[in-house]
Structure 1
Amino acid sequence: MDLRDYFESTEGIGVLGTADAEGKVDLAIYARPHVVDDESVALIMSDRTSHDNIAANPHAAYLFVEAGKGYKGKRLYLTRTHEETDPERIEAVRRRSRKGHDRGDAPKFLVHFKVDNVRSLVGD
């Protein structure tokens, strides 16, 4: 199964791991990534710690745990390539409306990543 099919059809919880320029690590809950093509994904990010970290250090890891019993999922090793700030483009990419859940007019970023490696959640 390719990543697009996997993330469009699989429910679960995602965690993005980033580090700042000095290596101080941060973890944050994130929605499923938007698969751009076979080699890249994008995440919608707010102007918070993860976004600051990815600007200082382009490397990140995304861990996805499938809903249900057991330990199924994926680990994606990522490198930031670029980002978009157009609000209309970001809304077009969203899977569902954020009305009532958004933090006002806080800036949002559609951050693109090259997928360097994909591993299963447990083992290989």
Structure 2
Amino acid sequence: MQKDLKSYFEETEGTGIMATADAAGNVNAAVYARPHVLEDGSVAMIMRDRLTRKNLLENPKASFLFMEKGPGYKGCRLYLTRTGEESDVEKIRSMKRRCPTTDADPDNTDLYLVTFRVDKTLPLIGAGDGK
């Protein structure tokens, strides 16, 4: 990528898709917001206790596809390995980029901050240099 991941995800709007698989190889894809890029270069995603998180507990490998808002096919693909998670409500709340939810958990207590090592970054289209 031309920009570093931290500035890229802070400055670029778009749609993200997280793909995971369970221990048996059954796949799932879900819409996710832009990841938070941490100081050490790892990324973090705020997740509910649903299928994506369940799959990551069984199989730590994931792929995140990000398509930039606008014409054409611009974006990136991140190949990830889950390295941990935490459920500190205040930390998660401070990292959220949008308004609090109005669903069944208005206090956002059923959330996890899941961290990943970035194993490889590729452009949205093409092979790229495979960093």
- Is TM (by shorter chain) over 0.5? yes
Structure 1 residue 38, shift from structure 2 partner: 5.1
Which stretches of structure 1, 4 residues or longer, exceed 4 Å deviation after superposition? Answer: none
| 3-state secondary structure, aligned to 1:98 | coil
Residue 119 of structure 1 corresponds to 122
Deviations 1:24-71 (A, max 9, x none): 000000000000135310000001000000000000000000001100
**Residue type at the aligned position of 1:4:** K
Residue 110 of structure 2 corresponds to 107
Residue 34 of structure 1 corresponds to 36
Gaps of 5+ in 2: none
2:74 equivalent among 72, 76, 80:
72
**Residue type at the aligned position of 1:112:** T
State the identity %.
53
Distance 2:89 2:41 in 1: 24
* CA distance 1:38–1:75, shift in 2 (3 Å): farther
Gaps of 5+ in 1: none
**Residue type at the aligned position of 2:110:** P
| 3-state secondary structure, aligned to 2:99 | coil
Aligned residues: 123
> In the alignment, is the contact (CA less than 8 A) between 1:75 and 1:118 conserved in 2?
yes
Pairwise CA RMSD of aligned residues? 1.2
Q: Does 1:89 align with 2:55?
A: no
Structure 1 or 2: more strand by fraction:
1
Structure 1 residue 98, shift from structure 2 partner: 1.5
| 3-state secondary structure, aligned to 1:37 | coil
> In the alignment, is the contact (CA less than 8 A) between 1:14 and 1:30 conserved in 2?
yes
TM-score if structure 1 supplies the norm length?
0.94
Q: Does 1:24 align with 2:26?
A: yes
TM-score if structure 2 supplies the norm length?
0.89
5 Å-filtered alignment, 1:50-61, equals: 50-61=52-63
Distance 2:123 2:52 in 1: 23
